[in-house]
Amino acid sequence: MAQKVTTHLVDDLTGDIIETGKGRTVQFAFDGSSYEIDLTDDNADNLREAFSDYISAARKVSGRGSRGTTSAATSSKARSNPDELAKIREWAAANGHEVAARGRISQQVRDAYAAAN
């Protein structure tokens, strides 16, 4: 026995079924979270219109995602400088952060160290 499964794309805004070729999934990010929404072409255009002023005034972020800024204390110098790593480990232990005596120091600990110094 054969089965045929049909999948319909539904506009997440209106609940209407989107005719083939008349809509798409739109991806966007806001406040650090990524989203996707299925919209008809008209609603996708409306979304782009709503964002257009903000997008034109914004800075584009490239790469694997925004990681924020890093300070001098957490730069590549700190990653490879044994004296700087020892300072970070000492500070972390004194301030309640778990950090191993050897190996990688988490970005969270590095950021906390940078904020404190």
CATH number for the domain harbouring residue 36: 3.30.60.230
* CA end-to-end span of the chain: 70
Predicted model pTM = 0.49
CA separation for the pair 97, 108 (Å, rounded): 10
Q: For residue 89, give the 3-state DSSP assignment.
A: helix
Residue 21 structural domain: 9-57
CA separation for the pair 78, 96 (Å, rounded): 20
How many domains is the chain built from? 2
Kindly state whether residue 66 falls inside one of the protein's structural domains.
no
pLDDT tens for 41-54 read: 999 999 999 999 99
Assess whether 76 and 99 both reside in one domain.
Answer: yes
Assess whether 76 and 51 both reside in one domain.
Answer: no
pLDDT tens for 9-31 read: 999 999 999 999 999 999 999 88
CA separation for the pair 30, 36 (Å, rounded): 11
Kindly state whether residue 97 falls inside one of the protein's structural domains.
yes
CA separation for the pair 68, 28 (Å, rounded): 18
Q: Which residue has the higher pLDDT, 65 or 2?
A: 2
37 forms beta bridges with 26
CA separation for the pair 10, 97 (Å, rounded): 47
The amino acid at residue 43 is N
